[in-house]
Amino acid sequence: MNDTPNIGAAYTSFLVLVVGWGLGILSSPITDAIRRRSVKQRMTRAVATELQSFQDALVSVVIQVARRRGVLTHALLDALQATLESSQRSGGSVKSSRTIDDLLRMDDAALGAKTHDPRTYLSLRIQGLPFLESHLHRLEFYSHETQRRLLEIHAGSREFERQVDEAARYYLLTFTDGARQDRSADLMANIEMCYARAAEKAGELVSQITVLLQSPEIRVGRAAGWT
């Protein structure tokens, strides 16, 4: 009796078993890699969108404080405009870009004129980074360099908020019953210092966000999300 067919069938069954076993081992890492890639793309789109909105608001802060202090110049506006344009994926118009366009039409004298009474409170509170804040535990999807930049921006946003809160606190103290004139002057000086520090931090964040959005890892993630 010829056992060759039985041997062939057994060998085929063995191969199927081995292949199935191998695919079973590989399927989990492959599935996990696909899932991580998908999650990273969605997260990158959301983070980039939030950072762009935050950057737009920060540019407005820089402009407001510069106008209040009478130090707004065409050079500063040009630099801010160039930074915004390099950050925008498709060159789309944003609120601060339109504001800059309007201001650039003004002459130097009008541009550098102070626009606020020093006693007027300037609200610099803006929408922060709630999405990034709530996803700090998922930064392992990114390279160490991108993680560092995101954490740096997050820390900078907290410092910016601290200066804004300090300005608001000092302003409320000016309404304290019995506040002396000299005390009021000190409080106003502290408020102006907080404005200056907030604007300085805002300028730093604008640059940091631009660098991050132009990084290959973020650009690839954003491009993949828009295809």
Q: What is the pLDDT along the chain (227 residues), one digit of tens a residue?
A: 455 555 656 656 666 666 666 556 655 565 555 666 777 888 999 999 999 999 999 999 999 999 998 899 999 999 999 988 887 754 445 788 889 999 999 988 888 777 666 778 888 999 999 999 999 998 998 999 999 999 999 999 999 999 999 999 998 888 875 556 667 788 889 999 999 999 999 999 999 999 999 999 998 766 655 44
Instruction: Classify residue 104: in a domain, yes or no.
Output: yes
Instruction: Classify residue 22: in a domain, yes or no.
Output: no
The CA-atom distances, in angstroms, between 215 and each of 146, 211, 226 are: 8, 6, 17
Tens digits of residue pLDDT in 152-207: 999 999 999 999 999 999 988 888 755 566 677 888 899 999 999 999 999 999 99
Q: How far is residue 177 CA from its own chain's centroid? A: 41
pTM of the model as a whole:
0.80
According to the model, what pLDDT value does residue 227 have? Answer: 41
Instruction: Classify residue 98: in a domain, yes or no.
Output: yes
- The closest of 99, 100, 87, 2 to 52, measured between CA atoms, is 87
Query: Rounded CA gap, 157 and 133, in Å?
Result: 10
Instruction: Classify residue 150: in a domain, yes or no.
Output: yes
According to the model, what pLDDT value does residue 50 have? Answer: 93
Instruction: Classify residue 110: in a domain, yes or no.
Output: yes
* Structural domains of the chain, count: 1
- Listed in sequence order, the DSSP H helices in the chain are 4-69, 74-87, 95-104, 108-112, 130-134, 144-173, 181-213, 216-225
SS3 call for 165: helix
Domain that holds residue 221: 42-225
Instruction: Classify residue 9: in a domain, yes or no.
Output: no
Instruction: Classify residue 27: in a domain, yes or no.
Output: no
Sequence-separated (6 or more) residues with CB below 8 Å from residue 114: 67, 68, 69, 70
Instruction: Classify residue 162: in a domain, yes or no.
Output: yes
Sign of the torsion formed by the C-alpha atoms of 81, 147, 47 and 194: negative
Sequence-separated (6 or more) residues with CB below 8 Å from residue 67: 114, 115, 116
Q: For tokens 């610099």, what's the residue?
A: 124
